[in-house]
Every structure is written in structure tokens, then in C-alpha cells.
Amino acid sequence: MARYTDANCKLCRREGEKLFLKGTRCLSEKCSFEKRAYAPGQHGQNMRRKVSEYGHQLREKQKVRRVYGVLERQFRNYFKKAEQKKGITGANLLQLLECRMDNIVYRLGFAPSRKAARQLVRHRHFNVNGRIVDIPSYSVRVNDIIRVKDKSKSLDVFHIALKESRGEELVWLRLNKAGLEGELLEIPKREDIPIPAQEQLIVELYSK
């Protein structure tokens, strides 16, 4: 399975803003973006090119894709699904991405980052409605119960993650910290998704 293996901090620097790909490290003094807030590479500090309309659209697509940790082909497939659904394509796209298993685990606070959440899911630490799910891209449905497996509840990783969580309270998720479980209450509305993205630019890019 293809996956990104290079440094995550390069992605934040490339997009010119923090994408919070490394959890609490992004909030500390160790954050590479704080030290080098310019594009990576030999000429990163000297890049002052005028960005075209296409360039803005491309950067927005890359930013959203990198936030959720999906590769290009998978992202394009999500876009095709979003087009086929009723409603606004851009909002549909973000909703599909938010309902990924790894993202839900991250949003609930069981992991410090989506990358860590993806690894925990892969290692079979979670079940959905009583059945083990080890596919990070699994689409969680409304009223699904996501629970840390009984044998995994003693692991420090979950308790530390919940303690250091950024404290996002999302109306479309219910969290039971004591039981280490959560529930998807509803498909999130666009205004309830805390992603600073201009998804319309992505729609324009793929519509060319």
C-alpha cells in the first residue's frame, strides 16, 4: 500500500501554514514551521513567484489532501463520490474525509495526529459496533459506536492522547472518556468542520 514516508514538517512549510500533522509537537517550540516558516528546498527562502489562479487551486487541493493524509488517486476518488452526492460538492468532499475511520479516531482524541490514528487502526485496536476494523479509510456511519478494544484499554497511548488533546468539542461526535468510546451522531455540516479550507477552489481545479 502506497503511503507518504518523507518528513511531515516539509508539508506544512510547503503550504505556508501549520497543518498539525504531528500532534502536540506542532504546539511546542520544537515545531519546524516556527523555526523555518518558508518553503523547503535549496531555494525555499528566495521563492517570491506570483501565484496563478491554477496555483492557488492546486495549493488548496494539496493542503486538504495532506491534512487528511490521503494520496492523489484516493483523493480524486473521494471527489468523484462527492460529485455524485446531492448537495454542494466541496462540502460533500470534506464530509467524506471527516467520516474516515482514522479521522474519527483523531477527532475523538484517541490519537495525537491522524498519522498516529491510522497506525492504531491498522494495529487493530478499535472496533465499530463490536467488530474489529483495521482499515483507516473505513467510512463510519451515523450512530456507529467506535470503541477501543478491551485488551487495548490499558495502553498508555490512549490516556495520554486524551489528556493532551487539543480539546475540540464537535457537536457531531459523542465521546465517553471513561469507556474509551465515541459515536458519530450525524454527518457534520460544513460550518462544524474545523478545517480552514476553500473547498470551492478544489472543485474548480477538478472541473477543468
CATH superfamily of 8-97+195-206: Ribosomal protein S4/S9, N-terminal domain (1.10.1050.10)
8-97+195-206 and 100-186 share one fold: no
Residue 48 grid cell: 517570491
pLDDT at residue 169, rounded to an integer = 79
Residue linked to cell 514516508: 5
> Rounded CA gap, 139 and 97, in Å?
9
Which CATH number does the domain 100-186 belong to among 3.40.1710.10, 3.10.290.10, 3.40.50.880, 3.20.20.370?
3.10.290.10
Q: What is the mean pLDDT of the chain?
A: 85
Separation of alpha carbons 163 and 176, rounded Å: 13
Query: Rounded mean pLDDT of 12-20?
Result: 57
Which residues neighbour 207 within 8 Å (Cβ) at sequence distance 6 or greater? Answer: none
Q: What pLDDT, on the 0 to 100 scale, is given for residue 14?
A: 58
Query: 23-67: per-residue pLDDT in tens?
Result: 555 455 555 555 555 565 554 556 566 778 998 899 899 999 999
The pTM (predicted TM-score) of the whole model is 0.80
**What's the mean pLDDT in 186-190?**
96
Domain ranges of the chain: 8-97+195-206, 100-186
64-87: pLDDT as tens digits: 999 999 999 999 999 999 999 999
- Is the distance from CB of 63 to CB of 197 less than 8 angstroms? yes
